[in-house]
Amino acid sequence: MVSRNNSNRSLLLSTTLASVLLVALISFAYTVFAAQPAFAEDAQLVATTPAETDSTNFTDVVAEQPRKAKYTTVSEIKLNKTRGSIKNNGKLKLEAALVPVDPTLPIKRTKVTWSVSKPKIARVSEDGVVQGKRTGTVKVTATAANGVKATATIRVKVNKAKMAKRIPVLTYHRICSDKAKRNVYDYTNTAISASLFKRQMQWLKSNGYHTVSTEEFADWRIEGAFLPKKSVLITIDDGLYETYHVAYPILRKYNLKATSFVIGIHVPKKTAEYNPSVWWDRYMGRDAIREVRKEYPNLEFQSHTYNMHHRYGEYGVAKYWSRSSIDADFEKNAKYGFTSIAYPFGHTSQHLLASVRENPDIRIGFGYMMYHPATRTSPRYNIPRFKVFGDGGLGGFKSIVRTAG
């Protein structure tokens, strides 16, 4: 009896187990069958239709990836000085360090622009050199290309007892080689030999004279800016190519400032090679002017008019031209940014002086062959200039320069 019961239990267990296995097998088969397309067209549909949860193709994914930046911008400017002081017309160099937003990347636009709050008290150059003019305090600001700024406070103190009261303005024309002076230009006292010019410049340097630019001179005359005693302004008229080939190297050797007054219509594209045997006029070209402005800004260029350097009879055309003709001449020179003018032959007229006074770019005008030094009461638009004679030697030069005080 017990044996039969055990047999029945074994049979029931076997049957139950078989049923469970059969159900599991059917469930597995159904799952696999349901995952496959039932017909060929269904299979094609599955193969070609994007998943409902992602409609973006691979190209779109690549295009949406952010590009890695190559450059960064400025977050801050750090100045080497935030406060400083200058005596008289001394100079102070400010330097601007640009701090990047991302220190791992270079800054694309690194140019810094400098400005000063009170230009009558101090000036600042394009490279951050501050120069004193009058007593007072100014804010000097460095501005990055993206507008980030940094400011330094500079105090200027001027000792008026050491300030120039008289400044001789010297006028040269042709500074030529000794050979050219001897063989070509011996007939004219407007030509001076290179050796004599060199001796004159050497004497200026050795005797403590200060050469100034026309901008500095204008600030002194107009605004009362500081210039030291024993100041001298050197000017060279006409823009002849000897100014570049002969005078420029000498001025640079002694680190002296000078101004070349150029005639606009006589500025060619290129400067001819120097030939001491040529007797006709040749002029500095735009190539030489660009070079000098870049390499030696102590030699500056200003206006000798565009095309008024010729005569009608005894006098220069300025004596006869109408106001409209003079204005038109000035307009042709406007693109050069001149701020001062020397009148050809020293000749002026009512129309010429009126045009100069009303020209917003021209700060000061220079006459010619008026043998006394300039003072702060000299006519602003007809500043006196000495003519330096080519046959005057060193002695004549000294007598002119010693009028400084």
Report whether pLDDT(297) > 60: yes
* Domain boundaries of the chain, sorted by first residue: 74-158, 162-401
pLDDT of residue 340: 97
Q: What's the pLDDT tens digit per position in 65-78? A: 667 889 999 999 99
Phi/psi of residue 282, nearest 5 degrees? -130, 150
> What are the beta bridge partners of residue 299?
258
The pLDDT of residue 229 is 96
Q: Does 74-158 match 162-401 in CATH topology?
A: no
Supply the pLDDT for residue 301. Answer: 97
Give the chain's mean pLDDT.
Answer: 86
Structure tokens belonging to residue 282 = 């040749």
Return the minimum-mean-pLDDT range out of 67-71, 155-159, 250-254, 382-386.
67-71
Q: For residues 162 and 172, is the Cβ–Cβ distance under 8 A?
A: no
Q: Is 134 helix (H, G, I), strand (E, B) or coil?
A: coil
Query: What is the CATH topology of the domain spanning 162-401?
Result: TIM Barrel (3.20.20)
Q: No. of H helices and E strands in the chain?
A: 12, 21
Question: Which tens digit of pLDDT belongs to each residue from 227-271?
Answer: 999 999 999 999 999 999 999 999 999 999 999 999 999 999 999
Q: Which residue has the tokens 């010297």?
A: 170
Helix (H) or strand (E) holding 136: strand 136-144
As given in the structure block, the two tokens for residue 83 are 């406060």
Using only C-alpha atoms, the chain has a radius of gyration, in whole angstroms, of: 42
CB 150 within 8 A of CB 96: yes
396 DSSP 8-state letter? H
Report domain 74-158's class. Answer: mainly beta
Predicted pLDDT at 41:
39
Q: Is the pLDDT of residue 35 over 50?
A: no
Q: Could you give the percent of the chain with pLDDT greater than 70?
A: 84
C-alpha 161/C-alpha 154 separation (Å) is 22
Percentage of the chain lying above the pLDDT 90 cut: 74
- For 224-239, what is each residue's pLDDT tens digit? 999 999 999 999 999 9
